[in-house]
Structure 1
Amino acid sequence: MTEKVERDRLPKQNDEIVTENGRKYKLGRALGDGGYGVVFISEFDNCEIAVKTEKFSKSQLKVEIEVLRAAQQMGCKHFCSLIDCGTKGKDFDYLIMTLLGKDLHKMRCELEDKKFSMSTAIRAGIQTIKACEELHRIGFISRDVKPGNFAPGVKQNRQNRIIFMFDFGLSRKYVDQNNNLIPNRKEVGWRGTTRYGSLDAHKRLDLARKDDIESWFYGLVEMTKGTLPWRNVTNRTNVQKAKELARTTTRVQFLFETPPQYDKILTMIDAYTFESTPEYSKIIKLLNEVKEAAAIRDKEAWDWEDESKSTTVNTVSSFSDKQNRASKEKATK
C-alpha cells in the first residue's frame, strides 16, 4: 500500500519558513488562528513582523497579496507593507507583512463602557473611510468592512498614529483591466459579516463601493455609541429588518447620542446606486465638522493608549471570528 501524503499542514511555533529568495523567518507565538490559518509573530531586520499562513486548499491569500501589491504601488497610507509571500508545496500559503496592534473591535470591547470617546471615534472614522477610499482607488472592494478589520500600527514602526485596513479574503476587483466598472451580476449570495453587512448584502445582491461605505457607517455608529440595535440578533433576516427600520421608525433610536452629521451621512449612503462613486471627501468634511465643534485635535491620545502602557501586539487578523472565516471558503469570486 502506498502511504497517504498529508497535505494542508499549517506550520507551528518555532518552525522556520525559508522563502524562494533564501530569507529565513522563524515563527514565534501565534497572534491569531482559525480553521484555515494561523498568524505568527516573527522578526525581520531586527523588527517584529507578522506571518499570515493559510491552508493551501482553502487559502484566500492570493487575493490579499494582490491587494497589498496594488496598494504598495499606489503609495497607499492605510495598508501594511508586503514584505514577502509564497507557497510551501501544497501545505500552506504565506504572507509576510508589517505588524499591527489589536483591532478596533477588540480595543473597544476592552473599554469599561464598550465605546470610544468622541475624539477617538471620529478620528478613527476619518482614517477608516480614507482606507476604504484607497482600496476603491486601486480597483478593489472589501465586501467585509468592519472595525475588526482595522488596527493601528505599532510604535516600533512609528505607525501607532495610523489606522490600517487588513484581511482582504473577501475582496474582489470591481473594475476590469481597462478600469471600467464590472457590470452588476445581480444575485450572487451572501458576503461579509452579518452585523455590518449592507442591505444589498442581505438581499444576496452583487456588492459595490457603496456597500463598503454602508458597512463602514455601521462600524462608525458602533464605535461612537458602543452598540448597534441588532447587536444581539442572530437571525440574518431579523438583522436585515432591524437595518431597514433604522432608516424609518427606529432612526432616532439608531442615531441616538451621535452627532447630527451622522444622519446626513446615512442619507447620502442610502442615495447611492451600484454605479455610484461614494462622496468620500463630503463624508470626511462632515466628520471634520464634528471634530471642529468638539475641539478635537489630531494628536490627542487614542483611548487604548490611555488604557495601557503596554506595546504588546495581539493580532493582525480577524481569524478569531471563526463563523466569518467559514464564510470565506467559497468567496473567491
Structure 2
Amino acid sequence: MHQKTSQSQKIFNNQYQIVKKLSSGSFGVVFLGIDLLSKYEVAIKVEKEENEEVRSLEREVQILKKLDGAEGFPKYLWSGEDQGYNILVIQLLGKDLAYHFKQLKKFSLKTVLTLGIQAVQILERSHQKGVIHRDLKPENMILGIGRDLAKLYLIDFGISKIYRDSNGKHISFKEQKSFLGTTRYASIAAHLGHELGRKDDLESLMYILLYFLRGQLPWQNMINVTDDERTKKVGDMKLALESSLFKDQTGELQRIYDYIRKLQFKQEPNYKMILQEFKRAADSTNTVIDGNFDWTEIKSSTHYKTDTNQNLSRNNIPLNSNEMKRSIEKQLSGLVQNGSNNLLAPPPVGSTRNTIQRDDIRKNSSLTQQTSINYCQSLNPNYQKSICEENLNDEQQHYFDFDSVEISENQKTDSSLHYKYDKIKNGFFVYLNV
C-alpha cells in the first residue's frame, strides 16, 4: 500500500492526497497526487486564494469542463476551494515535448510531421468546442502514459479563451491588445496587438515545428534587450522572414504556413487541407508515418533518458508497484527536499497585478507531469490600429487550394511594425536593427 499520510501530506476534498511537489510558478504549484478512492495517480494544481490578480485556474477549470471528453485533452476530475486554496485535479500525463527536445536537440522530419498531424487534429477539436489556446509551446504539448505513450495532449488553458458565445457568434476583432503568449512562438497578430483567433494557434504550431526541425529559431538568443524590446524585435523578424521561413525544409511546410498567414480573423481554417499537406510532405520525402517518434526508436541508447518506469495510469500499473515508487523517487530526486514540511508552499511573491508572463521554458519542464503555472507577462506594444474584415461569413468560406486565399492584413499606418509589414508585402528589403 502507499506510504502512510504525514501531517505535511494534505488531502483535498477528502479524496486527493498530495505526494510530491512537481513544479511551481508565479500563480501556484503543481503536485503529484493520489486519488484515495481509485488508488490512481493524479495531477493536483493549487492556486492560492489570495492570488486574485490572475485567477488563471478558474479559467482553466471553465475550459477543461468545456473540452471534457474530447480526445487530446487531460481529463477533468475535480475542482473547488479547500483549506484556503483553489484546487484543480486532472488526469496525470507523461513527459512534455520540451523534455524530449532537451534530450535530442532536434527532431527528425518523421517525428515533426507525426506531431504536426496530431496537433492539428487536437486544435481542430478544441476550435470546434469554441476554445482557442493562445499559448502553444513545447511545454504545453505533452504525451500520455501507459497505452497512450504515442498520444499527444494539449495542456495549460490558463490564458485560453472561448471565442464563440452561446449562440455561436464569433468574438469581435479588437486592436491594441496586450501581448499575450510566449514571445518565441506567438503569432504575428499577437505582436501586432490584435485579438487572437483560430489561425493564431495554427501559426504558433508552425513555429514550434520549425523549432523542432532546426533546433532553434532565428529570433532566439537576443542579448542586451529588455522584454518589451525583445517582443517587438521578434515580431519584426517574423514579418521579415515569413516568405522564406521554411526555405530549407520540404516545400509543403512553407505552403501550410503561407496559407495560415493569409487566413482572416474569423475565417475557419481548412484543417483537412493542412493535414493533407503534412501527408504530402511525408510522401515527397519518402517518410513513413508509423506513429513512432525519435525517442521511441532509440530507447536502447545510453545517452537518452527513457520512460522505462512509467507512472501508473488508469489502465496501467497498480498503485502499490514498487517499480513505480522507485521511478517517482528517481524523477523527483534533488528537486524536493526529503521530509519537507513546506509541500504546499504559496505561489512565489513578486507577481504584478494585471501582468501575465510566460517564459519560453517552463520551470522543471523535464518532469513527467504537466503544469499550467508558467511565468507569463502581458505586454502592450501600443501598435497603431489596423483594418480587419468584420463581415466575413464563416459558413460561406470554402477553400480548396492554399493559393486561392488572399492576405487579409494590409495595414498602412505609421507604426513601425505595421510599416515594415507593408514594405515586406510589397517586396522591399527591410533592415532589422537586431
Q: Do these two structures clear the TM 0.5 threshold for a shared fold by scoring above it?
A: yes
> What displacement does 1:64 show?
1.2
Aligned length: 300
> What displacement does 1:137 show?
0.9
Q: Does the CA contact (< 8 Å) of 1:80 and 1:166 recur in 2?
A: yes
Unpaired runs of 5+ residues, structure 1, are 1-11, 329-333
Over aligned residue pairs, what C-alpha RMSD do you find? 2.1
Match of 1:7 in 2: none
For residues 278-297 of structure 1, the aligned pairs below 5 Å read: 278-293=269-284, 294-297=286-289
Q: 1:52 pairs with 33, 40, 45, which one? A: 45
Match of 2:415 in 1: none
For residues 148-297 of structure 1, the aligned pairs below 5 Å read: 148-155=139-146, 158-233=147-222, 235-248=230-243, 251=244, 254-293=245-284, 294-297=286-289
Match of 1:33 in 2: 24
Matched, 1:66 2:66: no
Q: Deviations over 1:252-284 (max 9, x none)?
A: xx3244221111011101111111111111111
Q: Does the CA contact (< 8 Å) of 2:23 and 2:30 recur in 1?
A: yes
For residues 77-116 of structure 1, the aligned pairs below 5 Å read: 77-88=71-82, 91-111=84-104, 114-116=105-107
Match of 2:369 in 1: 315
Q: Does the CA contact (< 8 Å) of 1:103 and 1:150 recur in 2?
A: yes
> What displacement does 1:318 show?
5.3
Match of 2:313 in 1: none
**Secondary structure in structure 1 of the residue aligned to 2:78:** strand
TM-score, normalised relative to structure 1? 0.84
**Secondary structure in structure 2 of the residue aligned to 1:41:** strand
Q: Does the CA contact (< 8 Å) of 2:18 and 2:33 recur in 1?
A: yes
Q: Deviations over 1:99-135 (max 9, x none)?
A: 1122112321221xx1112221111111112111111
Unpaired runs of 5+ residues, structure 2, are 1-5, 299-303, 311-326, 328-366, 380-434
For 1:13 and 1:239, the matched residues in 2 are separated by 48
**Secondary structure in structure 1 of the residue aligned to 2:242:** coil
**Secondary structure in structure 2 of the residue aligned to 1:168:** coil
> What displacement does 1:138 show?
0.7
Q: Does the CA contact (< 8 Å) of 1:148 and 1:318 recur in 2?
A: no
> What displacement does 1:80 show?
0.6
Q: Which amino acid aligns with 2:291?
A: K
For 1:256 and 1:304, the matched residues in 2 are separated by 29
For 1:272 and 1:14, the matched residues in 2 are separated by 52
Match of 2:121 in 1: 130
Q: Does the CA contact (< 8 Å) of 2:114 and 2:291 recur in 1?
A: no
Q: Does the CA contact (< 8 Å) of 1:32 and 1:318 recur in 2?
A: no
**Secondary structure in structure 1 of the residue aligned to 2:47:** strand
**Secondary structure in structure 2 of the residue aligned to 1:28:** strand
Q: Does the CA contact (< 8 Å) of 1:225 and 1:257 recur in 2?
A: no
For 1:279 and 1:231, the matched residues in 2 are separated by 30
For 1:202 and 1:64, the matched residues in 2 are separated by 24
> What displacement does 1:93 show?
1.2
Whose Rg is larger?
2
Q: 1:139 pairs with 130, 136, 148, which one? A: 130
For residues 300-311 of structure 1, the aligned pairs below 5 Å read: 300-303=292-295, 306=298, 307=304, 308-310=306-308, 311=310
For 1:299 and 1:272, the matched residues in 2 are separated by 30
For 1:95 and 1:55, the matched residues in 2 are separated by 12
Q: Deviations over 1:38-72 (max 9, x none)?
A: 11111222322111111222431121112211112
Match of 1:299 in 2: 291
Q: Does the CA contact (< 8 Å) of 2:115 and 2:152 recur in 1?
A: yes
For 1:309 and 1:30, the matched residues in 2 are separated by 20
Q: Does the CA contact (< 8 Å) of 1:199 and 1:243 recur in 2?
A: yes
